Amino acid sequence: MHCDSSDNVQAHGAHVCFYPGSVKGSRLAMCIAEPLARLLPGRDCTVLARPGLAVLKRTRCPWVLCECGFITNPENAALMKDHPEAIAEAIAEGVKAYSKL
């Protein structure tokens, strides 16, 4: 899990990254992105293939990186600070959906 930051305090929303070519990683990312983006909306693209991230490239199991909103956005940051369990629950909902595929 990770948080984005931006000079633009209005930048907001979550997305999930996976390694290109990982079918399982892509499916896991899509399953997690839906509930996470519902909780933290704002991104045009909620699932991104990221070839340059070593944490995704060098891991053999299905692996994703959850960008849980912008720490520089007051609303996203308040959710992270005051209700981190909501973010965890959204990710867990996606993992549960993936396990049923």
pLDDT digit string, tens, across residues 9-24? 999 999 999 999 899 9
Which CATH number does the domain housing residue 19 bear?
Answer: 3.40.630.40
45-60 tens-digit pLDDT: 999 999 998 888 888 7
Which token pair is 79? 């959710």
Closest CA to 96 of 67, 88, 4: 88
DSSP state, 14?
-
Domain that holds residue 61: 2-99
If one counts every other C-beta atom within 10 angstroms of the C-beta of residue 43, the result is 21
Residues 63, 2 contacting (CB under 8 angstroms) = no
Question: Does the pLDDT at position 43 exceed 90?
Answer: yes
**Domains held by the chain: number:** 1
91 three-state secondary structure: helix
Residues 2, 16 contacting (CB under 8 angstroms) = no
Residues 71, 3 contacting (CB under 8 angstroms) = yes
Whole-structure pTM over 0.85, yes or no?
Answer: yes
Question: Does the pLDDT at position 96 exceed 90?
Answer: yes
